[in-house]
């Protein structure tokens, strides 16, 4: 990643946004279940809303973790979640709020903490680390950042330097490697003078679309015949 220092330092983290349509969430607005009130208030009379990372950080400061969770899902899954994941998660907003309140106070034992989420069906590491990131939670001294399938794919592509120790990470073992991932992001943040979110966003946005430049000397020899 050393080649991209200036880009990493200048990632537009706060402005990183997604737009989601009211029609995508209509059945959850109308079903009268726990998330319906929050969704109704968020959309109000609008047919679509745009949410940025800055919007979610602002919500986190209000300590309304149920609303933050719903807003984060809309930001992270603007086209909707697969299967019944949203319904299952939104039905456990009270429990989720309790777990996030604990997380904000500091996570000392990651495995023990993450095990508390297992009873919430549909809540995987990708979604939960989004919640932790916007809450500003830390595992010991390490700020939490998002670890999703796209990041996993970037790691296993093997193009970006500094991620090698995570090679072989999969959805099935990602939670066990999360602390190692946080250490890598923290070290990169300090090395490049960038935010933790900026490092993560760079990996997410560019990692799958970087192809190593060809060896110039070899290319020159080839072109000369």
Summarize pLDDT for 95-143 with one digit per residue, the tens. Answer: 999 999 999 999 999 999 999 999 999 999 999 999 999 999 999 999 9
* pLDDT beyond 60 at 218: no
Find residue 142's DSSP bridge partners.
Answer: 139
Averaged pLDDT of the chain: 93
* pLDDT beyond 80 at 64: yes
The domain ranges of the chain are: 2-211
Alpha helices in the chain (DSSP H): 5-9, 26-30, 34-43, 53-61, 65-76, 85-90, 93-104, 110-115, 125-135, 149-157, 178-192, 196-206, 216-223
Q: Do 5 and 192 contact (CB within 8 A), yes or no?
A: yes
pTM as predicted? 0.92
């Amino acid at each position: 990643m050393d080649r991209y220092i200036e880009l990493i330092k200048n990632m537009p983290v706060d402005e990183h946004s997604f737009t989601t349509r009211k029609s995508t969430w209509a059945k959850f607005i109308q079903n009268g279940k726990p998330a319906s009130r929050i969704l109704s208030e968020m959309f109000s009379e609008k047919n679509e809303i745009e949410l940025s990372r800055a919007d979610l950080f602002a919500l986190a400061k209000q300590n309304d973790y149920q609303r933050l969770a719903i807003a984060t899902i809309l930001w992270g899954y603007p086209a909707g979640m697969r299967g019944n994941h949203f319904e299952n998660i939104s039905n456990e907003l009270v429990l989720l709020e309790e777990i996030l309140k604990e997380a904000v106070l500091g996570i000392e034992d990651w495995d023990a903490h993450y095990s508390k989420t297992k009873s919430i069906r549909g809540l995987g590491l990708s979604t939960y680390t989004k919640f932790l990131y916007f809450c500003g939670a830390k595992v010991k001294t390490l700020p939490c950042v998002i670890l999703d399938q796209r990041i996993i794919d970037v790691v296993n592509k093997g193009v970006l330097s500094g991620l090698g120790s995570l090679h072989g990470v999969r959805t099935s073992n990602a939670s066990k490697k999360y602390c190692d991932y946080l250490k890598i992001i923290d070290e990169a943040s300090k090395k490049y003078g960038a935010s933790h979110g900026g490092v993560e966003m760079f990996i997410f946005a560019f990692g799958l679309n970087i192809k190593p430049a060809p060896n110039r000397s070899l290319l020159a020899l080839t072109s000369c015949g």
